[in-house]
Amino acid sequence: MPMSRNVRNALYGLFLVLLIILLVVLGRNWVLQATIKKAQQKFQGMNQMELSINGTRFVGLAQIHINQILLSNPQTDTLVQIDSLLLQLKIWELFKGTIRLKDLEAKHLTLNYRELATTAEGPSNNRLAAKVSQEEPLNYSRILNRVLKTSFSMIPNRMQLANIQVNYITPEHRMVMECPQWELKNHQMEGRFSISKNGVTLPEFALSGTLDGSRKFIELRCSKMQDSSAIVPIFEPGLGLGMQFDTLQFKIQVAASSANEVTCSGLFGISGLTLTHPKLSQEPVGFRGGSFRFQATVKNHSVEFDSTSVVTFNKLVFSPYLHYQNQPRPRLEVKILPFGIQAGDLLSSLPDGLFTSFRGMEINGALKYNAQINIPLDDPDSLRAVSEVTNRGIAIQRFGTASLTQLNDTFTYQVYKDGRNTRSIFVGPGNPCFVGLDQVSPYLKNAVITSEDGGFFYHKGFDQEAIKHAIADNLKKGRFARGGSTITMQLVKNVFLTQQKTISRKMEEWMMVWLIENLNLTTKERMFEVYLNVIEWGPNIYGICEASEFYFDKSPMELTLNESIFLASIIPSPTRYKYTFDKEGNIRDFYFAFHRFLIETMLKREQITSEDTLNLLPDFELKGLAREFVSQTDSSPTDSTLREEPLELD
């Protein structure tokens, strides 16, 4: 009896499937070896790396067993070593021409990073790095899509890793992270790890979460398994940053993706965080808890965190906005949307170890804040920036460790050098060298105001234009070269704070300045008077009385216009005044530009008249003890008109 058409088609189909399976079985070793060879060639082209794969064989139809994998670099020895790797492939995906993992087991996985000593030519360690073409800007959505597609597609149904060790070795440190076991099953993962530094082992941490490639969802949770105050040295060797925490959480959900756009949402949260770094604060800085919930959109040439994102830090809650693009012009825009908070809640939300001068302060009222900055990165000078704080009935009930009204009375100013108290200066009529504003030459007062803070009598402690110029200058130089300080900031730093160049000191300075200026705790005239009496003006020379005598052997009221401009010029770096002169005592050329700038600005502001500048040359004679200190060398500073003390956070 002849076979029906349906039966024949079924048999043909079965034969075709069996033939494909046979071809896969017969050709799989050839495909595997070709894949290995291609991978070896790729790594060989990346900084001359060598990939060695030994003992490769198929077990069953779709299971691969590898005895050993070694990835090495001639300069840094072995980078990766896996003693045993078992891969179970998804058989039906092979028929589609794709490789998908079903199971993965790895034993004795070791990762090594050795940082060699830096030579005069720079670090000798070769690092993997993507070279970005300057002619063709990066396509962010394409890169992210590629990463997401590869990452999510390679997540197996089950993964088991045993005896993982990560070594980070520098000439000074050896850090080791050990994970005895890490397992992924049904999208849920669990593991634990410990970190040791130079042989000292820290408490263990638990790592858990969810990896779900089909939902494009990742969640990671890391928590301390034991109560300990030990610092986790993850960032210490490279950044000098010590860190400890109770829990960390990261979550990301890809909502939609196309060739030109990827949208996602996520969360980063942390509790019990403590940071230590000499540029951050002299004390450990503690953050009780905080989170960042974000909505992000990545397009071909832009990345955006939209304004529905929320930052929560204790009682402080606000919405940020960030947009970066690299075409048609590179531009960065950052906003903090308007938000309000009770002043007491703000104080209680401040990190421990920062704002130590505010400990014990009691304050009523509220404030509202918003900020925005838009920076064309190819032209930082045209940036636009706004930062606004609105006072809503703020009143101080009790000061903290620093009494911000002490400027209104007599007090003793303590001078510190290199952390040591070197001198005490009484600020008030009881000091024979104390001078009131009416005892100082108008030339000197106007020269200092023009040089240091032209808007002092008009702003509220913050000069927005100076801050914008400082940001632009820092961006162009690629470092913190300028901070935009006002006279109020300089005064607060000298009277209430230390000379430590830390972020915490700068933040305390800003908060004190805002309170003093916006609550009218001290008049502008009194602030300027104290400023002129306490600032450093030379080697152990403090205040205008000592300065006018040291340099010109006269009183502050007798100072001429030229002498006043010279004294204003050395405020940013008073101990280097001698470099204004050559070894014969003549004024150096670089000083002429500063002199001309101040004269022109003071004329424009009608602080001096044209008669004051008639036949005026940048010439004066040192008559005081300063003559003995004039440099006998022929070297001079490269930047003679630095208007601001660098924050020096590099």
Q: Higher confidence at residue 129 or residue 574?
A: 574
Which of the four pLDDT bands, split at 50, 70 and 90, describes residue 607? very high
**Highest mean predicted confidence (pLDDT) among 62-76, 439-453, 459-473, 488-502:** 439-453
Which of the four pLDDT bands, split at 50, 70 and 90, describes residue 299? very high
Mean pLDDT on 417-429? 88
Instruction: Check residue 583 and give its pLDDT.
Output: 74
> Quick one: angle between helices 487-496 and 503-518, nearest 10?
110
How many CB atoms lie under 10 A from the CB of residue 595?
21
Between CA 62 and CA 56 the distance in angstroms is 13
Which of the four pLDDT bands, split at 50, 70 and 90, describes residue 274? confident
625: pLDDT strictly greater than 80: yes
- State the burial class of residue 18 (Cβ atoms within 10 Å of its Cβ: 0-12, 13-18, 19+): exposed
Instruction: Check residue 649 and give its pLDDT.
Output: 36
Decide the pairing of beta strands 310-313 and 247-257: unpaired
- Give yes or no for a cis peptide into 556 (omega within 30° of 0): no
Closest alpha carbon to 521 in 383, 404, 642, 381:
404
Q: Higher confidence at residue 160 or residue 619?
A: 160
Instruction: Check residue 98 and give its pLDDT.
Output: 63
Rg for the chain, CA atoms, rounded: 33
Instruction: Check residue 3 and give its pLDDT.
Output: 52
Give how far Cα 373 sits from Cα of 311, 331, 383, 471, Å: 18, 11, 7, 10
641: pLDDT strictly greater than 80: no
Q: How far, rounded to the nearest angstrom, does the alpha carbon of residue 569 sit from its chain's CA centroid?
A: 32
Between CA 595 and CA 588 the distance in angstroms is 12
Phi-psi region of 107 (alpha: psi -120 to 50; beta: other; left: phi over 0): beta
Instruction: Check residue 169 and give its pLDDT.
Output: 82
502: pLDDT strictly greater than 90: no
Instruction: Check residue 232 and give its pLDDT.
Output: 66
Instruction: Check residue 100 and give its pLDDT.
Output: 72
Chain mean pLDDT for the chain: 83
Mean pLDDT on 545-555? 94
Instruction: Check residue 521 and give its pLDDT.
Output: 95
Q: Looking at 115-157, which runs of residues are DSSP E strands? A: 118-119, 122-123
Between CA 635 and CA 633 the distance in angstroms is 6
90: pLDDT strictly greater than 80: no
Between CA 626 and CA 628 the distance in angstroms is 5
Q: Higher confidence at residue 501 or residue 493?
A: 493
Which domains does the chain carry?
406-629 (1.10.3810.10)
For 425-475, how does the pLDDT look when each residue is reduced to its tens digit (9 = 90+)? 999 999 999 999 999 999 999 999 999 999 999 999 998 888 888 888 888
16: pLDDT strictly greater than 70: no
**Highest mean predicted confidence (pLDDT) among 37-41, 124-128, 247-251:** 247-251
- Tokens 């950052």 found at: 334
